[in-house]
Structure 1
């Protein structure tokens, strides 16, 4: 199993010396902001639809349509899998809420391990880019395939898709 999380690639690639052993502080403070010592991830199941479902769950959690980058890391990067706690995710695709997991009870050592795992992903070009047009088409497809009622999509996304 793997874990997916939205990241801001520009923060990770701020300067030439950025790398796995030299992670820019802005990347950490921007993409690894914890709440209650937890970080939110989406499970990527090892099947044909795993990545698509995780991406759709992430897109469904966004308040507005924008391009974004998704990093996918191995779930076993943390030695202690007791830190992974199943929690319902906040996404308009309610059938995908169960893919959500919190990395919980984090301390500075854990956060450094997460940063290194994400850095390895970023600097080895193992991220997935979602363009605005792709974001729009995936949400529209979800609506037309009845995976999500339009009313559950965020208001600003509905406005941009001209559904209001």
Structure 2
């Protein structure tokens, strides 16, 4: 989340680095994908991390950085949100997903400003270690929410090592 911090070299405290936007807010088809959860308590943060860690084309595990913004703030900014099916190997999380749609630079800037405010002013971000992600995957398997066989080989090997 360092990309989102205030006072980065060469930027004023209110400015957002280009890397924060182009790396963390990567769009496709003028859409930006979000996982949607009821609150920011630890259980929901873990669920979001699990969804992200086992998302589209994930063939290895990394730590996960999360930040969150209340959906209503996007709606107040006039952003269009569409419920979509998320791509993750944890089937019961697939419907916890929305896209911001019809994005242009102005709308993407509104999203960036909301995230910057959430992270800088409200501390609405977390970093989960690779080990924590492994534990979440292990628990999802034990709870019957995920099959070991559905995981990519590198992830499967890492999970088997802790089971």
Bin for the TM-score computed over the shorter chain: 0.7 to 0.9
Say if 1:64 and 1:157, in contact at 8 Å, map to a contact too.
yes
Alpha-carbon RMSD: 2.4
Q: 1: distance between equivalents of 2:84 and 2:25?
A: 18
Q: 2:134 aligns with which of 122, 133, 136?
A: 136
Give the TM-score taking structure 1 as reference length: 0.82
Q: Name 1:84's counterpart in structure 2.
A: 81
Greater strand percent: which structure?
A: 1
Q: Name 2:49's counterpart in structure 1.
A: 55
Structure 2 alignment gaps of length 5 or more: none
Change (3 A) 1:47 1:37: closer
Structure 1 alignment gaps of length 5 or more: 1-8
SS of residue matched to 2:82: strand
Q: 1:10 aligns with which of 2, 7, 12?
A: 2
Q: Name 1:106's counterpart in structure 2.
A: 103
1:161 CA displacement = 2.4
Q: Deviations over 1:11-56 (max 9, x none)?
A: 2248256577210111111111110000110111149754433332
SS of residue matched to 1:101: strand
SS of residue matched to 1:73: coil
